[in-house]
Amino acid sequence: MPEVSIIIPIYNASKYLQQCLESVIAQNFQDIQIICINDGSTDVSLDILKEFGKRDARVIIIDQKNQGVSAARNAGLEIATGKYIGFVDSDDTITPEFFQTLYEILVENQCDVVFSRSVSSESMLQNNRKYSRQEIRSQILPLYFKEDGYNAIWNKLYAASVINTNKIVFPIGKTHGEDAEFNINYLLYAESLYNLNYSGYHYREEEGSVTRNVVKFNYLQNAVETFQKDWSHLTREVISVEKMHHLKKERFINNVISQIYIHAIPNNGLSIRNKLRKLHEIINNETAKTLFSENNELLTTNFSKYKSEVYKGIKTKSLIKLYLLSLYSYYRNK
């Protein structure tokens, strides 16, 4: 039985897949199982996987029809035999000591999960500190309903026993938020967590990928679904209904303010007419109208001047003002 199972979902990833797999098989920590799930790729991803399978007996290949990233990861979880579970995305790379570092922290501190640092974000958690079950529930779980900065699964290492005992899987059919849902379910059962001030995961983000995706993804629908999702059957003993509403509202409002910007700025694939149409859709969304009409003074106190003006523009449905504010911010920071 390997100590660590590494699950890698793959869909049309031939451009970077070789770099990814090279970094995984080159891990200093050798007692690993590398589960690669080809999720119906139409490029040469499967051929690349087969070559690596010949090179390294630790590489296990699952070839399935396209079902989405959640189904691919779940397929990996079904056959994983490691004591601990890690995830890598097929276009990313990891440093040679990545899994050894996380593994040693888990074992030494007898924890159920370790968080490592994401290069692009600042953590509100204390570095190099162990958190108890009570602290996970009171300090860490609420962050998942307040913001998106902790959602990633690729900078963490999980105890397989917690996943298997509580039948924790990724939700099928979601295009956004599946990682957060997995983490929330996991943390509800975790007895302890270690937050490590270390970063060994190289997340690849194509320049402008978020703004280019406004044509492809419905960010507004995802934000509404995230806000409306009822977690009370799992969290009512941990987070009060009132606090949950406040956390989810803060996340939704910040998300909508960000959406105004990414839908309005140049080079996002939308014509000016469609930009304005999308802004109109956002500010007239029923959930947005309801939440922005509430008393949000405490939430908006620390907003920057730009963010405050956008908030006011959404509240008053000032379409042209929102468009011009976004352009101003874009060119000022360019």
CATH code of the domain in which 113 resides: 3.90.550.10
Answer whether 190's CB lies under 8 Å from 156's CB.
no
Query: What crossing angle do the helices spanning 241-264 and 319-332 adopt, rounded to 10°?
Result: 70
- Structural domain range at position 135: 4-202
Q: Are residues 130 and 269 in the same domain?
A: no
Q: Are residues 116 and 263 in the same domain?
A: no
Q: Specify the DSSP class assigned to residue 166.
A: T
What average pLDDT score do residues 216-222 get?
Answer: 86
Instruction: Give the chain's mean pLDDT.
Output: 93
Which tens digit of pLDDT belongs to each residue from 282-296? Answer: 999 999 999 999 999
Q: Are residues 196 and 261 in the same domain?
A: no
**Is the model's pLDDT at 206 over the cut of 80?**
no
Integer Cα distance of 94 and 129 in angstroms: 23
Domain limit, last residue, from 202, 217, 235: 202
Q: What is the share, in percent, of the chain residues with pLDDT greater than 90?
A: 84
Q: Are residues 214 and 322 in the same domain?
A: yes
Integer Cα distance of 101 and 198 in angstroms: 9
Integer Cα distance of 24 and 47 in angstroms: 18
- CA 322 vs. chain centroid, Å, equals 28
What average pLDDT score do residues 21-38 get?
Answer: 98
DSSP E strands, 56-125: 59-64, 84-87, 93-94, 113-115
Sign of the CA dihedral running 158, 164, 165, 167: positive
Answer whether 269's CB lies under 8 Å from 278's CB.
no
The more confidently predicted of residues 45 and 173 is 45
Q: Are residues 117 and 172 in the same domain?
A: yes
Q: Are residues 42 and 151 in the same domain?
A: yes
What average pLDDT score do residues 104-109 get?
Answer: 97
C-alpha triplet 158, 159, 165: angle, nearest 5°: 120
**Is the model's pLDDT at 148 over the cut of 80?**
yes
Q: Are residues 111 and 149 in the same domain?
A: yes
Integer Cα distance of 76 and 87 in angstroms: 10
How much is the pLDDT for 8?
Answer: 98
Domain limit, last residue, from 173, 202, 231: 202
C-alpha triplet 212, 151, 112: angle, nearest 5°: 155
What average pLDDT score do residues 302-325 get?
Answer: 96
pLDDT band for 121, please (50, 70, 90 cuts).
low
Domain limit, last residue, from 171, 202, 233: 202
Number of structural domains (the chain) is 2
The more confidently predicted of residues 196 and 175 is 196
Q: Specify the DSSP class assigned to residue 32.
A: E
pTM for the whole thing? 0.89
Diameter over CA atoms, the chain: 62
Answer whether 121's CB lies under 8 Å from 39's CB.
no
Q: Are residues 102 and 194 in the same domain?
A: yes
What average pLDDT score do residues 173-198 get?
Answer: 91
Sign of the CA dihedral running 38, 118, 268, 300: positive
What average pLDDT score do residues 5-11 get?
Answer: 97
Q: Are residues 32 and 167 in the same domain?
A: yes
Q: Are residues 106 and 216 in the same domain?
A: no
Q: Are residues 217 and 169 in the same domain?
A: no
